[in-house]
Amino acid sequence: MAYVETYDRPRTVELLRGLEVMPRTAVPYRGTTLEEMDLEAVLARRPEIALVDELAHTNAPGLRHAKRWQDVETLRDAGVDVISTVNVQHLESVKDLVEKVSGIAVRETLPDRVLDGADVIQFIDIAPEALRKRMRHGNIYAPEKVDVALANFFRPRNLAAMRQIGLRLVADSMARQRQVVSGPEDVLVAVSCSPASEELMRRGARLARRRGGTCLVVTVQSDPECEPDTDRFRALAGQLGCAFAVLGGRDVSSAIIQAASDFGAEHVVVGEMTDGGRLDRLRPSVADRLIDSLPDADVHVIARVGRLLERPGRPDGAPDDHRPDPMALLRQVASDSRRSAALRVYLGYATGVGTTGAMLSEARRRAGRGTDVVVAAWRLHDDPRAALAGLDVLGGLRDARRRRALDVEAVLARNPQVVCIDDLTETDSRGRPALDAVPRLLRAGVTVLATLHLLALRSPAEAVARLLGRPLDRPVVEDELLEVIDEFELVDLPPEDLLTRIRQNRLLEPADLARAMQGELRPVVLGMLRETMLRRAADQVDRQFVRDLREAGNVTSVEVRGRIVLCLPVRRGLDERIRSAAGYARAQDATFTVVTVRPPGLSEAEKSLLGSYTALTHQLAGEFVRLEERAVAPALARFIVDSQATEVILGHRRRARWRPWDTTAEVIRLLQGVDIHVLRRHQ
């Protein structure tokens, strides 16, 4: 253990027992003494593995490196494997998002390239309310600090937003590792002395990361007073992994255009321009000049404020037989604000990731606080007497087997406060899915802790079945189940570690393992499932986050999940534009809407064309909207504002030069507070 910060938490201190802990080095600083990791001692010790806590930490002055992540790089260069920790708010590229969400300045950051260089990333998940409960129980902060923390950084909405940011960030890193990115596309970001420039740089850096390209930040320095800002921008660009250049000249537009052409940028990012009045409408803005002069690049006009919006709800599922629909019953129970019981689910992407262990750990935690907990159903690979030791088990442990089906009547007769049910798709003692019993248990006031695997949800299961060329061979539930779960936690494990665990613990018989390695345990399949789980979880967190904001009447704008609107003319040959925009939205985990404006009275040809575009949009999981108006730009602007879009995609103008009445120019002029993305001409 090279360095750990326990914060005097008894459970953390307990976990250190049996580990070799390296002594710290003392550093005098401003009349006090700071304790830091002794890098030289760790290097001299030459361990195979070093555990180093708090990767984003800033070292005391006088040590070899300014930051702990630099210490870690030195250890890795010396051949030492390092296991470390970092919280999502400390990553440089999302610093602005976290500060917007929390209203709290993030003072220590970590360059994203450090995370990119990690061999393995594991996401440690916890539901926001579970974290807040843990804090109230004194497991994190001293009692006198708890109320202040809960009222500030640890507010539920802050935690939900940061949880979503973290989920998407890890999913994006997996997509890059699997090279699920088209050819790299380079990004140029143009900044000025504006206070919004740092946010603009982070937005451009995130775009470059998603597109697999490099990012160049440029500034046109025409004012000597901007020199201090230039130094700050150069330092931030280095943190973000971006190149930086200062351009000369007084014509800002021409300088940016020349730099974008020389760099070969396929995306150019500029800030939103302020409305200078009627006269400015008669001459092209910087954005207009970029659009005209860079036909082979996408131009992004980034608003000073982004927005976060809710997606349309999904239709309710229908029952598939005459028994009561568990989804409908769960929805009814979930809508009852008076109930005290809750459904908490541990979600994993494959067998063996540890969902059962996570559920049983929570059961022990609650039982240790005096809660009446009973384990009612399980499916174990280990000896039940060892795995369930110390827990109250329905039916007792003496004759317990590795699998026990749920007996809901026995649970109700026992009447515990909390019941554990392993795998909601397993059949109960009457041959029905255990999920069917959950509404009844919740109504009886029994909180349910349960496990679920991603392949138990219909759409991921069907996707894998298609990939493997096999029919579905296991029970599935509708994806809507995630909507009615009160709390869920992901149990994440990198695929390489999962396969090692399966082999070492003999979770599968050799013949079954060999067969699975050709199917659902193929690394490419596991990687796809893990990324899907992270994105599904982020979507669910997003929905709840937005509902909470709206219920509170909060209209504060936060770019956590985007809503992208493609403005489409009624013209043939735009199928690829719809596909491209849908792919762009999918890469950003954003919702996707296509809107078109046409006067009343469509011709038969126009009806047929719009019908095909509508079908394609729905096939790509988007929404298609037709507006009956004569004035195109005002109608689009009203719809965009009403739908609270975060980004609008417009096609390149058909004419070679800017005109004040051009639809693209007029929409840009009418909109404020919305990102505008103008596609390159060939798209």
pLDDT of residue 316: 39
Of 348 and 332, the structure prediction assigns the larger pLDDT to 348
- The full DSSP string for 483-512 is HH-SEEEEB---HHHHHHHHHHTT-S-HHH
The whole-angstrom separation of Cα 424 and Cα 426 is: 6
Mean pLDDT of all residues belonging to the chain: 85
- Could you say which of 251, 269, 302 is where a domain stops? 302
3-state percent helix, strand, coil for the chain, nearest multiple of 5? 45, 15, 40
Q: Is the pLDDT of residue 281 over 70?
A: no
Among 8-22, 49-63, 533-547, 601-615, where is mean pLDDT lowest?
533-547
313 domain residue, yes or no: no
Q: Which of 76-85, 211-220, 471-480, 586-595 has the highest mean pLDDT?
A: 76-85
Whether 357 and 280 map to the same domain: the answer is no
**Measuring CA to CA, which residue among 326, 341, 286, 562 is closest to residue 428?**
326
Whether 367 and 485 map to the same domain: the answer is yes
- Could you say which of 551, 580, 610 is where a domain stops? 551
Name every residue whose Cβ is closer than 8 Å to that of residue 355 and which is 6 or more positions away in sequence: 346, 347, 348, 451, 452, 453, 491
451 phi and psi angles, rounded to 5 deg:
-120, 155
Ranges of beta strands (E only) in 543-622 are 563-567, 591-598
Question: pLDDT tens for residues 499-511?
Answer: 999 999 888 888 8
177: three-class secondary structure by DSSP? helix
Whether 431 and 373 map to the same domain: the answer is yes
Write out the residue range of the structural domain in which residue 74 sits. 1-85
Whether 439 and 588 map to the same domain: the answer is no
Whether 367 and 471 map to the same domain: the answer is yes
90 domain residue, yes or no: no
Whether 539 and 569 map to the same domain: the answer is no
Whether 191 and 287 map to the same domain: the answer is yes
108 domain residue, yes or no: no
311 domain residue, yes or no: no
Q: Is the pLDDT of residue 317 over 50?
A: no
* Residue written as token pair 């965009």: 640
- pTM of the predicted protein model: 0.69
pLDDT of residue 551: 64
Give the CA angle between residues 132, 138, 139 to the nearest 5°. Answer: 80
The whole-angstrom separation of Cα 106 and Cα 88 is: 11
- State the virtual CA torsion across 347, 353, 359, 365 in degrees, nearest 10: -130
99 domain residue, yes or no: no
Name every residue whose Cβ is closer than 8 Å to that of residue 299 and which is 6 or more positions away in sequence: 267, 268, 270, 287, 290, 291, 677, 678
157 domain residue, yes or no: no
pLDDT of residue 313: 37
Question: pLDDT tens for residues 517-542?
Answer: 888 899 889 999 999 999 889 888 87
Whether 477 and 373 map to the same domain: the answer is yes
Contact yes or no for 406/377 (Cβ under 8 A): yes
pLDDT of residue 355: 96
| Count of domains forming the chain | 4
Of 516 and 272, the structure prediction assigns the larger pLDDT to 516
Name every residue whose Cβ is closer than 8 Å to that of residue 100 and which is 6 or more positions away in sequence: 557, 558, 559
Of 199 and 548, the structure prediction assigns the larger pLDDT to 199
Whether 542 and 608 map to the same domain: the answer is no
Question: pLDDT tens for residues 20-37?
Answer: 999 999 999 989 999 999
Name every residue whose Cβ is closer than 8 Å to that of residue 26 and which is 6 or more positions away in sequence: 33, 34, 35
- Could you say which of 270, 302, 334 is where a domain stops? 302
Whether 202 and 273 map to the same domain: the answer is yes
Whether 491 and 447 map to the same domain: the answer is yes
Rg (CA), the chain: 28
**Measuring CA to CA, which residue among 352, 390, 387, 385 is closest to residue 374?**
390
Mean pLDDT of 397-419: 90
- The full DSSP string for 211-270 is HT--EEEEEE---GGGHHHHHHHHHHHHHHT-EEEEEPSS-HHHHHHHHHHHHT-SEEEE
Among 176-185, 385-394, 506-515, where is mean pLDDT lowest?
176-185
534: three-class secondary structure by DSSP? helix
Task: Estimate the crossing angle of helix 156-177 against helix 95-102, to 10 degrees.
Answer: 160
51: three-class secondary structure by DSSP? strand
Among 92-96, 185-189, 616-620, where is mean pLDDT lowest?
92-96
Whether 640 and 571 map to the same domain: the answer is yes
Question: Is the torsion defined by CA of 416, 449, 368, 383 positive or negative?
Answer: positive
148 domain residue, yes or no: no
